Homo-oligomer: A and B are copies of this chain.
Amino acid sequence: MQKDKIQKWEVLNSHYLFREPWFTARKDTVKLPNGHQIPSYYVLEYPDWVNIIAITKENKFIFVRQYRHGLGEINFELCAGICEPEDSSPLQSAQRELLEETGYGNGIWQSYMILSPNPSTNTNLTYCFLVHDVELISSQHLEDTEDLSVHLLSIEEVKELLQNNQIKQALMAAPLWKFIAENKLL
């Protein structure tokens, strides 16, 4: 495929505006290859994230519903979470999140996609996993700040959610549509 001469920017100055546990924001002064400078370019630093298309032995897809305060809506979502420092890998983060949020575990896991939530602003990646044959092996273990319900959906229900634009979160719509495409489910 044809390439080009697009180049990276040079960082002339950088300092942190905030370094809170859930909000780390940086202001960079950058110089473009054309010589133009941007005095204030804002970058958001986050840990990497994970999400999971989890399918039970009975061929049901595990979804959760929870309130999301940025958008102000409650929608169907994949199980998702962040890579904690003590996790040894994104896979372990995904297995931990699935167990904590839904009580499901075991199964046959595969790495499915790696996405950027937003390459303009965000430093982090999201690791999407696909797992078949999970089983209910525990109860939910939610944190005080988590209030979510678990739903087992058929593939027809998943397709209905996608086709009605009810999977709003782009990081979840992408692997789900990939799954529909690869398995020729339309």
A residues in contact (CB < 8 Å) with B:
1-9, 17-18, 20, 22-23, 25, 28, 30, 32-34, 36, 38, 40-44, 65-75, 113-123, 125-126, 144-145, 147-149, 151, 153, 157, 160-162, 165, 168-171, 173-174, 177-178, 180-182, 184-186
A116 to B69, CA, bound (A): 12
By beta carbon, the residue of chain B nearest A44 is: B70
Instruction: Point out the residues of chain B lying under 8 angstroms from A168, CB to CB.
Output: 114-116, 119, 125
Instruction: Point out the residues of chain B lying under 8 angstroms from A23, CB to CB.
Output: 25, 40, 42
A162 to B1, CA, bound (A): 13
By beta carbon, the residue of chain B nearest A186 is: B181
User: In the bound complex, do residue B169 and residue A118 qualify as a contact, i.e. CB atoms below 8 Å apart?
Assistant: yes
Q: Please list 24 pairs of residues, one from A and one from B, whose beta carbons are closer than 8 Å in the complex, sorted by A's number.
A: A1-B151, A2-B151, A4-B151, A5-B149, A6-B66, A6-B149, A7-B67, A7-B147, A9-B67, A22-B42, A34-B147, A43-B69, A70-B116, A70-B119, A70-B120, A117-B118, A117-B170, A118-B170, A118-B171, A126-B170, A170-B174, A173-B174, A174-B174, A180-B181
